[in-house]
A and B are shown apart, each in its own frame.
Chain A
Amino acid sequence: MSLTHEIKFTLNGSPVSLTIPLTMSVLTMLRDLLNLTGTKYGCGEGECGACTILIDGVSVNACLKFAVDCDGRTLTTVEGLVADSRNDPLRTAFAEKGGVQCGFCTPGMVMQARHILDNYPRANESQIKRGIEGNLCRCTGYKKIIETIASVGELDNKG
């Protein structure tokens, strides 16, 4: 009964072809159809950022995005991000600077950090705070996450 549509897109560097229901969100597609569970369900309403991924290089809440609209696009999830060694400094910084506690918000934070670093390479502390305004964290109080992103930004700018 449920009406479906076939889409083709690039996911973490590989082509994907998939038939999905029209109302399916990208989050459900990633988690339930593609078994990519690194992207988390936190609220399903775009209020917490736990499901942040990159579509065509831009950060979005996967829970609010229609999967049908992925046709022809390029998606990067946390699994794809860590597979690319370019992101090693970001990945290491999150662990070493204390940006992680329970870790549930972390994949979304990491993806949003990538977006900030790519699009606003000279972001200062207050711009980083604004950049992760849409990512809730209940454990860390954000301070070490902000320091993490700032430290990677400094590295990038030196390099």
Chain B
Amino acid sequence: MAAIIEKESLIGKAIPKMDAPGKVSGHTRYIHDLNLPGQLIGRILRTDRVHARIISIDTKEAEALPGVHAVITAKDVPNKPLGVTKDNPPLKGDKVRCERDEIAAVAAETEALAEQALSLIKVEYEELPALFDPRQALLENAPVIQESKPDNISMEFDYSHGDVEQGEAESDVVIEDLFKLHYVTHCCMGASGVIADFDSTSGNLTLYSNTQVPFLHKREFASVLNMDPNRIRIIQPPIGGGFGSKLDIYPFEPIAVFLAQKARRPVKLTFSREEEFLASPTRQPAYLRLRSGVTKEGVLTFRTLDSLLDNGAYTSWGATIPFVMMQTFSSLYRVPHCLYHTTTVYTNNPYAGSFRGYGNLQATFCVEAHMDKLAEAVGIDPLRFRLKNAQQAGETSGQGMHFKSCGFKECLTTAAARSDYAIKREQNLKAQGDDNAVKKGIGMASMLHVGGGAKIYPSDGCGTILKMDDFGHVTLMTGASEIGQGSETVLSQLVCEELGLPLSAVTVVNNDTDITPWDVGVHASRTTFIAGNSAIGAARLAREKILNAAAGTTAMPADQLSLRGGCIVIDESGEAVITLDKLLRSLHFQERAELVTTSFYYEPPSVHQDKAFKGDVSASYAWATQVVEIEVDTLTGVVTLNRCTAAHDVGRVLNKLGIEGQVEGGIVMGQGYALTEDLLIDEGHCQNPNFRDYKLITAPEIPEIDLSFIETMDGEGPQGAKGIGEAPAICMAAAIANALYNATGVRIYEAPFSPEKVYRALKGCSQPLEW
């Protein structure tokens, strides 16, 4: 009698990451661990000035040093500018504009020789007046940073819906505040690195790169190097953390390629930790002036935002965060009238890239401070005020975002209930006046972020090739990269769900542009959603082929068959008809032999924003509310985060272990942004390029974390899921600022809430914010 196989599902279970065992054993080889035969070590000479004309660069002595195989400066290379507005030449020949600037590079047989060669390069400069304060960039006699932009404006963004004058007229209360956000940086534990290797016969380039966007990278490399893209192959070794830092192409990568070209040997270039701090992107610092109105019934009437972003000396993704910031201003709550403006100005400071949350931490910090302030002004408790103005399913926001599923209100009520928000808030308010030096505070903040990709490129799609061998083993070739977030495992789960296989039956190939199909890369919390739907599409095609073949051999109609436990079964009874491997082998010997290989390309049903920044850019949207509980030591200003209660609309939990890990990690990253991390830039120079003084959160500092996942079963999502990679980091600074106010009655408008800053605020001796 045939075996009966019950239906089993991996969805929602706690599935360990497929790549974890290799990482635990030290077997996983990151770029730092790879060495090619004949490889040279590349090093970059950076400037010690922040704004100066280069008079001369003398590399003679460096070139003469035995063991040095290539020395390059701007004049030796095509040097086409990189970046979002193509204003950043890989090597600087005319002038330097910030402390990161690359003057020359060497390739030598050892690291020590490369360092020695750098020390032999002589650069003569003529100092230029420098610009450090973005608020002075628009002054008439401000130094000009980029000659092609004499007004120092790199980008401007304007958005509006409704009529803010009407909104203001309808308001009973109007408030306006200025907020300031700081520099932080990604601090990937594995620092940046690249290996460039030219094939000596074909001249083809293989680039071992940590990029998060291999296909975009390939295209940009082709342009920068004047190469046919068909001759560039990008291989991504496992990445020691990304968080957005590897979304743009930065000068060190083409420099390594130029060195390899000149030396005719492979060149490996990796950053020291100090270099990583000095020369990798930051989160975008900003001044934001927010004006909001409300009726006495507690209905939001209008919002205007004027913001100034410090672009730094060159333009990378940081300058484009208004795309995301304006979504929070316009669409987290129902705001009938909205006016938004950002100016991004050049300075001689470091430049910002994309960083998990992409402007949303900054935007949410301001918006959620105002939600608390407006609630207080009209005498409504903050939770009820938010519920009253929260978006809900079915609505389309003024910016055109259509919320097909929306668990926002459930996030609010769940996080509030699980943290006893209302009771504790009242208790803390009462205790403000007592003589206890340590004050308790509770604060909440919510967020909206894209959860179904983001259509910022012509396509937001991802391809999958799926192949099954005659033992029933699946090779899943996906364009989506694994950067630690667990995409390999989730994609495999989704495939197993369709094909009735255990996880061990799947191998994922996701790191080689010569093999994997196209994808736009790991960003915008898109991988689970986009690559997930793509993987499901390919798996369903495979399933159809298999069941059709099985129908042929079993004389059962395909629609009555199913795949479970590595067998073809009768769907209704679970009775096994034939094992999958046996069926697959039999396919080889058929007249029309057809190995089971499928390819599927998924494009989400989202649209580009129009020129007015309106449109439904994502196939679904993620929501969250986080409530934090803190203690403030008024003698020292130290803020201790005791607890975080988080409720996230995730569509559906696919991998419990994976999603918990993402949210916990995001909360702690947000905690660092709020409390301890501060990349100090003084006159263009970083003051703390080390972990001693750039303080990441350490294990003893983490809060107790309570997680709730609101499952709204998004109709577009893979098995109902939404993307959540960025969401958990977004609310923390906003929530902690609100908790500080609850604890002390003092509101702080500038992050991070470091002990000294909090202490000054408590004493009323803060530096007033001006813009």
Show the binding face of A for B, using Cβ within 8 Å: 31, 36-45, 47-48, 50, 77-79, 82, 91, 94-107, 110, 126, 128-130, 132-146
Residues of A contacting B702 with CB < 8 Å? 129, 141-143
Min CB distance A151 to B, Å, is 13
A144 to B485 Cα, complex, angstroms: 14
Given A38-B26, A95-B17, A129-B700, A139 and B661 touching (CB < 8 A)?
A: yes
Given A37-B26, A44-B272, A78-B26, A102 and B188 touching (CB < 8 A)?
A: yes
Could you say which interface size class chain B belongs to?
A: 35 or more
A44 to B188 Cα, complex, angstroms: 15
Nearest residue, chain B, Cβ from A103: B23
Smallest CB-CB A-B distances: 6 pairs: A38-B26, A102-B484, A103-B23, A104-B240, A141-B668, A95-B20
Residues of A contacting B691 with CB < 8 Å? 43, 45, 47-48, 136
Residues of B contacting A129 with CB < 8 Å? 699-700, 702
Q: B657 near A130 (CB under 8 angstroms)?
A: no
Residues of A contacting B483 with CB < 8 Å? 102
Q: Report B638-652 CB contacts with A as 1/0, cut-off 8 Å.
A: 000000000000000
A97 to B661 Cα, complex, angstroms: 10
Nearest residue, chain A, Cβ from B28: A103
Residues of B contacting A42 with CB < 8 Å? 189-191, 273
Nearest residue, chain B, Cβ from A21: B112
Given A91-B25, A138-B188, A132 and B690 touching (CB < 8 A)?
A: no
Q: A133 near B24 (CB under 8 angstroms)?
A: no
Known A-B contacts: A42-B273, A139-B661, A141-B664. Give 19 more (CB < 8 A): A37-B26, A38-B27, A40-B30, A40-B240, A44-B273, A97-B657, A98-B16, A98-B661, A101-B17, A102-B189, A102-B240, A102-B483, A104-B30, A106-B24, A135-B699, A136-B189, A142-B664, A142-B702, A144-B657
Residues of A contacting B717 with CB < 8 Å? none
A47 to B688 Cα, complex, angstroms: 13
Q: A133 near B661 (CB under 8 angstroms)?
A: no
Q: By CB atoms of chain A within 10 A, which of B16, B22, B32, B486 has the most? A: B16
A120 to B27 Cα, complex, angstroms: 28
B312 at the interface (CB under 8 A from A): no
Given A138-B696, A141-B664, A101 and B484 touching (CB < 8 A)?
A: yes
Residues of B contacting A145 with CB < 8 Å? 699
Interface residues of B in 660-715 (CB under 8 A from A): 660-661, 664-669, 690-692, 696-700, 702, 705
A-B contact pairs, 18 of them (CB 8 A): A37-B26, A38-B25, A82-B24, A82-B25, A91-B21, A99-B24, A100-B19, A100-B24, A101-B661, A102-B484, A103-B240, A104-B190, A106-B23, A134-B698, A141-B664, A141-B705, A143-B664, A144-B664
Q: Mostly helix, strand, loop or mixed at chain A's interface?
A: loop
Min CB distance A59 to B, Å, is 15
Min CB distance A32 to B, Å, is 9
Residues of A contacting B566 with CB < 8 Å? none
Residues of B contacting A98 with CB < 8 Å? 14, 16-17, 657-658, 660-661
Q: B665 near A139 (CB under 8 angstroms)?
A: yes
Q: Mostly helix, strand, loop or mixed at chain B's interface?
A: loop
B29 at the interface (CB under 8 A from A): yes
Q: A141 near B666 (CB under 8 angstroms)?
A: yes
Min CB distance A125 to B, Å, is 10
Q: A142 near B189 (CB under 8 angstroms)?
A: no
Nearest residue, chain B, Cβ from A50: B189
Nearest residue, chain A, Cβ from B705: A143
B243 at the interface (CB under 8 A from A): yes
Nearest residue, chain B, Cβ from A32: B111
Q: A144 near B660 (CB under 8 angstroms)?
A: yes
Q: A94 near B20 (CB under 8 angstroms)?
A: yes
Q: B700 near A110 (CB under 8 angstroms)?
A: no
A64 to B461 Cα, complex, angstroms: 47
B239 at the interface (CB under 8 A from A): yes
Min CB distance B281 to A, Å, is 15
Given A101-B485, A141-B666, A141-B667, A48 and B189 touching (CB < 8 A)?
A: yes
Nearest residue, chain A, Cβ from B34: A37
Q: A95 near B666 (CB under 8 angstroms)?
A: no
Q: A140 near B665 (CB under 8 angstroms)?
A: yes
A38 to B23 Cα, complex, angstroms: 9
B187 at the interface (CB under 8 A from A): yes
Min CB distance A135 to B, Å, is 7
Residues of A contacting B272 with CB < 8 Å? 44
Interface residues of B in 22-58 (CB under 8 A from A): 22-30, 32-33
A38 to B661 Cα, complex, angstroms: 23
Q: A100 near B23 (CB under 8 angstroms)?
A: yes
B336 at the interface (CB under 8 A from A): no
Residues of A contacting B25 with CB < 8 Å? 38, 78-79, 82, 91
Q: By CB atoms of chain A within 10 A, which of B33, B188, B667 has the most? A: B33
Residues of B contacting A38 with CB < 8 Å? 25-27
A38 to B25 Cα, complex, angstroms: 7
B241 at the interface (CB under 8 A from A): yes
A17 to B603 Cα, complex, angstroms: 58
Residues of A contacting B696 with CB < 8 Å? 136, 138
A138 to B189 Cα, complex, angstroms: 7
Nearest residue, chain B, Cβ from A80: B26
Given A45-B691, A82-B24, A91-B21, A37 and B33 touching (CB < 8 A)?
A: yes
A56 to B702 Cα, complex, angstroms: 31
A2 to B571 Cα, complex, angstroms: 73
A139 CB contact (under 8 Å) in B484, B657, B699? B484
Given A98-B661, A138-B241, A140-B664, A146 and B21 touching (CB < 8 A)?
A: no
Nearest residue, chain B, Cβ from A135: B699
A27 to B486 Cα, complex, angstroms: 29
Residues of A contacting B242 with CB < 8 Å? 102
Residues of B contacting A31 with CB < 8 Å? 33
B238 at the interface (CB under 8 A from A): yes
Min CB distance A24 to B, Å, is 11
A42 to B270 Cα, complex, angstroms: 12
Residues of A contacting B189 with CB < 8 Å? 40, 42, 48, 50, 102, 104-105, 136-139
A132 to B669 Cα, complex, angstroms: 17
Residues of A contacting B16 with CB < 8 Å? 95-98
Interface residues of B in 463-492 (CB under 8 A from A): 483-486
A146 CB contact (under 8 Å) in B22, B658, B692, B699? B699
Min CB distance A79 to B, Å, is 5
Q: B669 near A138 (CB under 8 angstroms)?
A: yes
Residues of A contacting B22 with CB < 8 Å? 103
B26 CB contact (under 8 Å) in A47, A79, A141, A143? A79
A147 to B143 Cα, complex, angstroms: 54
Residues of B contacting A126 with CB < 8 Å? 700
